[in-house]
Amino acid sequence: MNVPSPVITINQVSKIFNQGSAEEVVALQDINLEIQPGEFVSFIGPSGCGKSTLLRLIADLGTPTVGEVVVNGKTPAQARLGREYGFVFQAATLYEWRTIKKNVQMPLEIMGYSAQERDERANRMLEMVELGKFGNHYPWQLSGGMQQRASIARALAFEPSLLLMDEPFGALDEFTRDRMNMELLRIWEQMKVTIVFVTHSIAEAVFLSNRVVVMSARPGRIKDVIEVDLPRPRLFETREEPAYYNYITQVRESLRDAFQQA
Ligand code: ADP
Ligand code: MG
């Protein structure tokens, strides 16, 4: 039997900023985690516990002080060059002077895709996030939720096997966020992509994830990994299930301890 190899292996990772100086910060300490293909894994924890730092190490936007990160069997730098992941930030980082479609095409331009290929892919991705009719609009003509959907379309333009998302819906109202969560799960199921997701919302983490990784601060460590065994597909009604509330309580209690440690 072939055991699938993990998409991400985080092996004994620590990250220390300004090491040896008075401003030294141990942002991450002794992090060990494997993420398998097709998983949806969320990170939650007090502000400053190193969630963004960890995501950035996976994305090669920083290097561990100790330990190693492996992405698809490669270094994060190699995975970055191979365009093996997409990254979505908290605020939609769209270019104001480009239409939505031109924004989605941007990474494809940089990579030298033909005009036809760019056009086809952008159309496909915009359809997927239900912005098919908005390709010719400018970012300011769209709501915050639509802009964030456009950012997701852009991150998926390469059809990467891995999507890294740092509080992508943090700035949205709760109703829009609930809808975006449904959309994201639909995309995740359709594209069979692995998602690593950072959030402040316990409800969001439980609703979306296979596993919720609870972190504690100073130093940032993994405190608990909670498996969320709710049936798929997750539906509107999932949020009314007693089992869903039980998971929320479990994460909340784990987080409470994480805050007390901090
Ligand atoms: P989170 O995303 O969980 O809120 P971060 O990963 O942004 O936390 O930050 C973790 C810790 O590392 C914080 O104490 C933060 O101030 C510190 N930190 C993050 N980036 C840097 C940096 N480039 N230089 C110095 N300290 C940093
Ligand atoms: Mg952060």
Domains of the chain: 8-84+160-260 (3.40.50.300), 94-159 (no CATH)
Q: How far is the CA of 58 from the centre of ligand 2 (A)?
A: 14
For ligand 1, mutation pick of 13, 16, 17, 51 (most atoms within 8 Å of CB) = 17
pLDDT of residue 132: 95
pLDDT of residue 9: 98
Quickly tell me which residue has 């939720």 as its tokens: 145
pTM: 0.93
CA dist., res. 175 & res. 138, Å (int):
24
Phi, psi of 216 (to 5 degrees): -115, 160
| Residue 100: both structure tokens together | 């939505």
pLDDT by residue for the chain (262 residues), tens only, comes to: 566 799 999 999 999 999 999 999 999 999 999 999 999 999 999 999 999 999 999 999 999 999 999 999 999 999 999 889 999 988 778 999 999 999 999 989 988 899 999 999 999 999 988 899 999 999 999 998 899 899 999 998 888 999 999 999 988 888 888 988 998 999 999 989 999 999 999 999 999 999 999 999 889 999 999 999 999 999 999 999 999 999 999 999 999 987 775 5
Around ion ligand 2, residues with a beta carbon closer than 5 Å are 52
Q: Is 37 exposed, middle or buried (0-12, 13-18, 19+ CB in 10 A)?
A: middle
* Nearest protein Cα to ligand 1, atom 23: 17
Name residues contacting ligand 1 (CB within 6 A): 17-18, 25, 27, 47-53
